[in-house]
């Protein structure tokens, strides 16, 4: 079953790849209209999911994420489809053009990757988002949602599928929505047909997927972000940045988890920054050296570090705090302990900042601003496919570009290698940019 | 042992990443001079490897590849180091610059990937080539060569290592040369410290590595390339392209393995193309339909296809031949049976060519030229890291660019997410290109 799903998605990709931007965009418009027309049915199904979730005693945060009727969520989900439809065509862009010899020209052309497997948890709006992104970029997508959104998922899936089939040039196998949880494991084995897995959900989900597939995975298994407060720093900036990075949305992968403070900073300033966090309700996990300098800080919010305090993603109102001897020591600590997501330096000294920016090996390296900016929407990518801590292909917040690969087109007129140097002949390559 | 190698390579990367282009380039110059000075010792060691290989009865093609004394090979190996040294600095290129708001600017900067594990077979010149590419691009590299080149490898490794240590800013752990075969398996497990594996050698080597690691692998496990001869074609071009693609270097991954012929082409023309291959000493593996049209062709070179004839990489003077009904049928066949390396159409009809170029999902899609052009040197990339049939990161022939990733730098002045729309505040992002 998993194999036939993957195989048919791959066959559909072969056709989808040849469609024009107009054909792909038209399909999005049709899907938008069909989902709009089905609004009542979708919200009815969504209500059943919510009731089931309540009866099952699922946490209210999860139920809230399920809810499509909430404050214009349905409309903004539909608007998202039109936003993607209006994006510039990402397919067929020429990114290199080179004359190899008279009449022999090489072009590098942006092209879709192939078949994407998207695995997500409760948010049903991901269906619309990913369907739009995949079709726009010419990729096939297999979508697997969480069981909590089963009813919503089912009806949206039927609408998307029947619309593609009846009204568009996009083959309906290009977007397949999988409802059974059992198939995920088998799908992860289809590396012959699936080119990229994109998990959207908890870190646990991502980590689990990464250890169960040979297919490349685009996602972050951890978001252990750090802030280093240098000796030449502004107390007010440091405090507001630390508080925002920690408390704006602590469950986000771009929330800060550890604070490194230059050891020469005087106690009053350390107390101001750490106190700012405590005042915002953050529990600070501190080393003995830091603890000794905290003076009259509310001890209810001060605990001692333990063994793994600097290798841990709290995702809560908690942060680990330690001293470092220098910017070099901060860099060394971060390159070892961070998850290479986003790390920040607070300093007024440009040379120190440059040293930090150059040495830190993370997707995002920040100077005097909140780690929470690490996000596709904030970066202006319009729409976000996910955030990647991989070091190949796409890194950091990933927009539509992350769903694209490229191909080389070589156009000749009977040219053969045997006539050129290196292939047995004497002709030389020209290698001129076109 | 493997863990400590990988860990120290990773630590060295942290330092290497901060070095200037001058420092990296200077290290290449010093290595060049040291290898030049060690020429006699290296050739002496190389001679021992050759004698051992001869005594062990290894094939002469392998012994030839081992030989560094052969026709200026040593000098061109050394010249290669200087060529790489002279390339433009690939590190720190700004590929995106965007103002998010007043005083909050985002930059995307090219950056090295991290730690590369390069596994290669007999050619000792790969040591010089990869050492140069890695240092120039700011990546650490762990190199593992074949046991046939043990002595050459050992002395070159000592020279590189002592030169880095005594004369350069590049930490000597940035280039580590591993001599024991046993460690490869363990190194492939070090996904915490190694970012990319690049196997250079036989397809068997690559396939074996791909099934034994979670680290991304850049390489091609197969090179099943096809040529489709369309009905509107030029017999002379088709013949010379087919013969060159098959016979110029049949062991190459870019050699053609199958020929698809439009069924409406008349017998005389089919005989001309297939006869051209036979005249060049190629055995044609044909379907019954093709066989019926071959007339008086030398039957010694004609055999029947078997079950896997169209899923097979011959790497020899053999090719599978069949009829297809249309360009669409050719496209379908190729998208299923090719290894997505390089596929070619022979046609004088631009519309048919465009259809083929757009529909084929391979790294290289060619029109009227030999598949053998799929090569970094021929593409003008100066130096080749390898050829990739992956669909993410680098695809096709890979130059220095394939060893690069990027990082996002965000520079602010106390900016926090909480003040902006989406983060709890009212400020709007500007998102202007800088």
**Tokens for B352?**
């048919």
Rounded CA-CA distance B314/B317 in Å is 8
Q: Is 3.40.309.10 the CATH classification of the domain at A225-373?
A: yes
**Tokens for A432?**
């001129």
Which three-class secondary structure state does DSSP give residue B214?
coil
pLDDT tens-digit map of B113-130: 999 999 987 788 888 988
Confidence of residue A399 (pLDDT cuts 50, 70, 90): confident
**Residues of chain A neighbouring B218 (CB-CB closer than 8 A):** 392
**Residues of chain A neighbouring B229 (CB-CB closer than 8 A):** none
Least confident range from A101-105, A217-221, B260-264: namely: A217-221
Nearest to A357 among B359, B409, B423 (CB): B409
Buried residues in B248-265 as b, exposed as e (16+ CB within 10 A): bbbebbbbbbbbbbbbeb
Nearest to A244 among B196, B361, B417 (CB): B417
Residues forming CATH 3.40.309.10 domain(s) in chain B: 225-378
| HSE, side-chain direction, 13 A CA sphere, residue A82 | 10
Rounded CA-CA distance B393/B216 in Å is 10
**Tokens for B387?**
């050829």
**Class of domain B225-378 (CATH, top level):** alpha beta
Rounded CA-CA distance B290/B293 in Å is 5
At residue B235, the pLDDT reads: 97
Task: Judge: A407–B372 Cβ closer than 8 Å, yes or no.
Answer: no
**Residues of chain B neighbouring A409 (CB-CB closer than 8 A):** 357, 364-367
- Mean pLDDT value across residues A323-337: 96
Q: Which of the 8 DSSP states describes residue A217?
A: B
Q: Is pLDDT above 90 for B297? A: no
Task: Judge: B237–A414 Cβ closer than 8 Å, yes or no.
Answer: yes
B228, B344 contact by CB (below 8 A): yes
Q: Is pLDDT above 90 for A336? A: yes
Residue B43's Cα: distance from chain center in Å?
Answer: 28
Confidence of residue B40 (pLDDT cuts 50, 70, 90): very high
Task: Judge: A361–B416 Cβ closer than 8 Å, yes or no.
Answer: no
At residue B1, the pLDDT reads: 85
Q: Residues, chain B, total?
A: 434
- Mean pLDDT value across residues B348-366: 97
Nearest to B248 among A335, A397, A423 (CB): A423
Confidence of residue B219 (pLDDT cuts 50, 70, 90): confident
**Residues of chain B neighbouring A248 (CB-CB closer than 8 A):** 416-418, 423-424
B317, B251 contact by CB (below 8 A): no
Q: Is pLDDT above 90 for A232? A: yes
Task: Judge: A395–B414 Cβ closer than 8 Å, yes or no.
Answer: no
Q: Is 3.40.605.10 the CATH classification of the domain at B2-218+385-407?
A: yes
Give chain A's mean pLDDT.
Answer: 93
- Mean pLDDT value across residues B344-365: 97
Rounded CA-CA distance A184/A163 in Å is 25
**Tokens for A392?**
């190949």
pLDDT tens-digit map of A16-62: 999 999 999 999 999 999 999 999 999 999 999 999 999 999 888 78
In chain B, pLDDT over 70 holds for what percent of residues?
99
At residue B289, the pLDDT reads: 96
**Residues of chain A neighbouring B367 (CB-CB closer than 8 A):** 409-412
At residue A322, the pLDDT reads: 98
Find all residues with CB under 8 Å of A345, minimum gap 6, and list them: A227, A228, A230, A327, A330, A352, A353, A356, A357, A366, A367, A368
**Residues of chain B neighbouring A374 (CB-CB closer than 8 A):** 408, 410
pLDDT tens-digit map of B42-70: 999 999 999 999 999 988 878 888 889 87
At residue A85, the pLDDT reads: 94
Task: Judge: B411–A335 Cβ closer than 8 Å, yes or no.
Answer: no
B335, B408, B430, B433: which to substitute to probe chain A, counting the most A Cβ within 10 Å?
Answer: B408
Rounded CA-CA distance A368/A366 in Å is 7
Rounded CA-CA distance A85/A107 in Å is 27
Task: Judge: B391–A195 Cβ closer than 8 Å, yes or no.
Answer: yes
**Tokens for A352?**
């120190």
**Nearest one of B244, B401, B367, B278 to A106, comparing CA atoms:** B367
Which three-class secondary structure state does DSSP give residue A400?
helix
**Residues of chain B neighbouring A103 (CB-CB closer than 8 A):** none
**Residues of chain B neighbouring A408 (CB-CB closer than 8 A):** 363-365, 374, 379, 395-397
| A-to-B residue pairs, Cβ atoms closer than 8 angstroms | 247
Task: Judge: A423–B380 Cβ closer than 8 Å, yes or no.
Answer: no
Q: Is pLDDT above 70 for A181? A: no
**Tokens for A115?**
């078949």
- Count other Cβ atoms within 10 Å, centred on residue B421: 12
**Cα–Cα distance list, A140 to A122, A394, B70 (Å):** 22, 19, 51
At residue A384, the pLDDT reads: 78
Element (H, E) at A239: helix A235-247
Task: Judge: B423–A395 Cβ closer than 8 Å, yes or no.
Answer: no
In chain A, pLDDT over 90 holds for what percent of residues?
75
B353, A107 contact by CB (below 8 A): no
Rounded CA-CA distance A310/A328 in Å is 17
Nearest to A364 among B241, B373, B410 (CB): B410
Task: Judge: B370–A406 Cβ closer than 8 Å, yes or no.
Answer: no
- Read off the pTM: 0.91
Q: Is pLDDT above 70 for B181? A: no
Least confident range from A366-380, B5-19, B145-159, B232-246: namely: B145-159
Nearest to A408 among B100, B244, B363 (CB): B363
Task: Judge: B411–A368 Cβ closer than 8 Å, yes or no.
Answer: yes
Give chain B's mean pLDDT.
Answer: 93
Find all residues with CB under 8 Å of B101, minimum gap 6, and list them: B415, B420, B427, B429, B430
B221, B389 contact by CB (below 8 A): yes
Q: Is pLDDT above 90 for A63? A: no
Minimal CA separation from B352 to chain A, in Å: 13
At residue A122, the pLDDT reads: 72
Minimal CA separation from A279 to chain B, in Å: 16
Residues forming CATH 3.40.309.10 domain(s) in chain A: 225-373
Q: Is pLDDT above 80 for A163? A: yes
């Amino acid at each position: 079953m998993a194999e036939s799903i993957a195989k048919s998605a791959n066959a559909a990709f072969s056709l989808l790849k040849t469609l024009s931007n107009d054909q792909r965009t038209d399909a999005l418009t049709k899907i938008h209209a069909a989902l709009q027309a089905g609004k009542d049915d979708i919200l009815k199904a969504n209500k059943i999911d919510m009731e089931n979730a309540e009866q099952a005693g699922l946490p209210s945060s999860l139920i809230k994420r399920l809810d499509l009727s909430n404050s214009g969520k349905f409309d903004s989900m539909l608007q998202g489809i039109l936003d993607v439809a209006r994006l510039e065509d990402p397919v067929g862009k020429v990114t290199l053009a080179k004359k190899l010899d008279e009449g022999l020209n090489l072009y590098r052309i942006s092209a879709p990757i192939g078949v994407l497997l998207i695995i997500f948890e409760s948010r049903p709006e991901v269906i619309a988002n990913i369907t739009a992104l995949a079709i726009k970029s010419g990729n096939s997508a297999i979508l697997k949602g969480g069981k909590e959104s089963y009813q919503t998922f089912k009806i949206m899936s039927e609408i998307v599928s029947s619309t593609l089939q009846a009204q568009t040039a996009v083959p309906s196998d290009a977007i397949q929505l999988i409802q059974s949880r059992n198939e995920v494991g088998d799908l992860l084995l289809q590396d012959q047909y699936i080119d990229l897995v994109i998990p959207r959900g908890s870190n646990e989900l991502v980590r689990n997927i990464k250890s169960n597939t040979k297919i490349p995975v685009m996602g972050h298994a951890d978001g252990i972000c750090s802030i280093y407060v240098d000796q030449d720093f502004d107390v007010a900036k440091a405090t507001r940045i630390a508080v925002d990075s920690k408390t704006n949305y602590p469950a986000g992968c771009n929330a800060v988890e550890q604070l490194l403070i230059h050891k020469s900073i005087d106690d009053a300033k350390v107390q101001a920054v750490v106190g700012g966090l405590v005042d915002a309700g953050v529990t600070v996990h501190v080393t003995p050296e830091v603890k000794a300098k905290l003076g009259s800080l509310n001890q209810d919010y001060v605990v001692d570090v333990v063994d793994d305090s600097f290798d841990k993603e709290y995702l809560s109102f908690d942060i680990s705090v330690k001293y470092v001897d220098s910017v070099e020591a901060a860099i060394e600590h971060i390159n070892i302990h961070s998850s290479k997501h986003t790390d920040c330096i607070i300093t007024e000294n440009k040379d120190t900042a440059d040293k930090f920016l150059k040495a830190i090996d993370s997707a995002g390296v920040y100077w005097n601003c909140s780690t929470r900016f690490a996000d596709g929407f904030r970066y202006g990518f319009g729409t976000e496919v996910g955030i990647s801590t991989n070091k190949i292909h796409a890194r950091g917040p990933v927009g539509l570009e992350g769903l694209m690969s490229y191909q080389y087109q070589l156009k000749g007129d009977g040219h053969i290698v045997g006539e050129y140097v290196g292939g047995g002949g004497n002709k030389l390559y020209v290698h001129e940019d076109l």
